[in-house]
Amino acid sequence: MGKTSTILSTLLVALGAICAVAADDQAENEIVESFVWTLDHTNYSHIISQHKMIVVEFYAPWCGYCQQLEPKYEEAASVLNSHDPPVILAKMDTTIPENAELARNYTHNGVPSIKIFRNGGKTVHDYKGTRETEGIIAYLRKHAGPASLEIKSKEDAASLIDEKKIVVAGIFPELSLEKIQNFTALAEDLRVDYDFVHTSDAKLLPRGGPVDKPTIRLFKPFDELYADFEDFQVEAMQNFIEETSVPIMAILDDNPENQQFVNHFLHSPGDKVFLFVNFSTDVDAFKSKYYDVAVSYKGKEANFLLGDAETGKRALQYFGLDTNQTPLIFVLDMDGSKYVQRHVQPDSLASWLKDYKDGKLKPYLKSQPIPEVNDEPVKVVVAETLEDMVFNSRKDVLLEFYRIGCKYCEEFAPVLDEIALSFEKDPDVLIAKIDGAENDIPRDQFEVQGFPTLYLKSATGRLSRFEGNRTKEAIIEFIQTNRGTPAPSNFVKSDLPVSEQAQTDPVKDEL
Span between the terminal Cα atoms of the chain, in Å: 16
E-assigned strand segments in 94-249: 113-118, 123-126, 148-150, 167-171, 195-199, 215-219, 226-229
Determine which one of 39, 66, 92, 441 is catalytic. 66
- CA 139/CA 152 separation, integer angstroms: 25
Q: How many contiguous H segments (helices) and E segments (strands) does the chain have?
A: 15, 22
Compute the half-sphere exposure of residue 185: CA atoms within 13 Å on the CB side of its CA.
13
Residue 440 dihedral angles phi and psi, to the nearest 5°? -65, 135
Alpha-carbon 469 to chain mean position:
28
- CA 111/CA 58 separation, integer angstroms: 6
Alpha-carbon 128 to chain mean position:
11
- CA 480/CA 392 separation, integer angstroms: 20
Taking the CA atoms of residue 211, residue 214, residue 219 and residue 223 in that order, the dihedral angle to the nearest 10 degrees is: -70
Determine which one of 167, 406, 430, 511 is catalytic. 406
Residue 277 dihedral angles phi and psi, to the nearest 5°? -135, 165
Active site residue 409: yes
Determine which one of 187, 409, 431, 454 is catalytic. 409
Bridge pairing between strands 113-118 and 463-465: unpaired
- How many CB atoms lie under 10 A from the CB of residue 109? 16
Residue 340 dihedral angles phi and psi, to the nearest 5°? -135, 140
- CA 336/CA 510 separation, integer angstroms: 21
What residue type is 384 in one-letter code? E
- How many CB atoms lie under 10 A from the CB of residue 8? 16
Which of 294, 303, 311 has its CA nearest to residue 252?
311
- CA 223/CA 365 separation, integer angstroms: 34
Q: Where are the alpha helices (DSSP H) in 231-348?
A: 234-244, 259-267, 283-296, 313-318
CB-based contact 232:216 (threshold 8 Å): yes
Q: How many residues does the chain have?
A: 511
Active site residue 63: yes
Determine which one of 63, 169, 431, 441 is catalytic. 63
- CA 132/CA 424 separation, integer angstroms: 50
Residue 255 dihedral angles phi and psi, to the nearest 5°? -85, 110
**Conformation bin of residue 120: beta by default, left when phi > 0, alpha when psi is -120 to 50:** left
Residue 317 dihedral angles phi and psi, to the nearest 5°? -65, -40
CB-based contact 161:187 (threshold 8 Å): no
Any idea which residues carry the catalytic annotation?
A: 63, 66, 406, 409
